[in-house]
Amino acid sequence: MRRGMLYVALVIAAAVSIHLPAAEAQDYPNRPVKLLVGAAPGSTTDIVGRVVAEGLRARLGQAFVVENKAGANGMLAAETVARAAPDGYTILVGFASQISVNPHVYASIRYDGEKDFAPVTPVVAAPFVLLVNPANPKTASVKSLHGLVALVKAKPGALTYGSAGIGSMVHLVSAQFSSAMDLQTVHVPYRGAAPMETGLMGGEVDYAFDNLSGVAFARDGRLRALAVTGTARWPDLPEVPTTSELGLPATLNILSWFGILAPAGTPERIVQLLNREIVAVTAEPGARERLAKFGLVATMSPQAFAARIKAETQQYGELVKRLSIKLE
């Protein structure tokens, strides 16, 4: 009798343990959720995270708390999330270079951008803007992308381009441009986009691909925008053509995404719930207006996001290898 009762108890316990993850997922979230941001407060990544957190808090009735853990191009935050329990209570507000570029660039990295995360959805996708300084005697006469290409080819090795740092997305876009157009130029890395912009306006470098912070300088005339990457014109620069319109290779239709990822192994039910709710948040007029200042609102399914990360990781890996970039 005792053995029979013990057997029944074990069967019930096993059944309960099997169904616990599903029950937890159904109840999710039942406590505060932490969103880790690998960038400083006020950055694009940070603001995207806060818009998402506020929207999820309102929709799901639970606290979604943004925590900034900046440093090492986002690697500190990414590693923390990669090692977190896969229960949906610690998630990453990530960006493209953090996931798809860093694993190729940094020898000391302790996470795999493809294997250690469950992609939920990108939130915004931001193009890059090709800029020259109209006050720089070298580039004063350049009015178009093809005009810049002609100038560089006429003076191989004489012109310089700036970047936000070795291995940054700005560096990779610029290097891809040089490779695609067969240009001989000199790379000048800076410690971030802001000092690069200062260098461009001061004539230290001759051109640069910049993130959307450079749009303000183009609009006030301090810099001249020649093109934006991708297939859609940027609303604040409606007269500036895209790299696609200008006939450049598709490899230059580069957009840097900012999105949400969970630790690998997070239950599919939770991943799908987060995806569904974030898509709904981005459809709300107030949230959409705030996000549109930083890029094109561009959500997608977890499966499509995973495929995008896989393709970009391969593309950037080949480019990093060709450039022989390796940092500690």
Q: Any idea which fold 31-126+256-323 has?
A: D-Maltodextrin-Binding Protein; domain 2 (3.40.190)
For residue 22, pLDDT beyond 50: no
- CA distances (Å), origin 183, targets 152, 161, 264, 305: 7, 11, 41, 33
Those residues whose C-beta lies under 8 Å from the C-beta of residue 35, and which sit 6 or more positions away, are: 49, 52, 53, 64, 65, 66, 67, 91, 92, 93, 260
pLDDT digits over 59-103, tens only?
999 999 999 999 888 999 999 999 999 999 999 999 999 999 999
- C-alpha 219/C-alpha 239 separation (Å) is 11
Helix (H) or strand (E) holding 38: none
Give the pLDDT band of residue 6 (cuts 50, 70, 90). Answer: very low
What architecture is domain 129-252?
A: 3-Layer(aba) Sandwich (3.40)
pLDDT digits over 188-218, tens only?
999 888 899 999 999 999 999 999 989 999 9
For residue 19, pLDDT beyond 50: no
- Domain coordinates in residue numbering, the chain: 31-126+256-323, 129-252
Q: What is the pTM of this model?
A: 0.84
Q: Do the domains 31-126+256-323 and 129-252 sit in the same CATH topology, yes or no?
A: yes
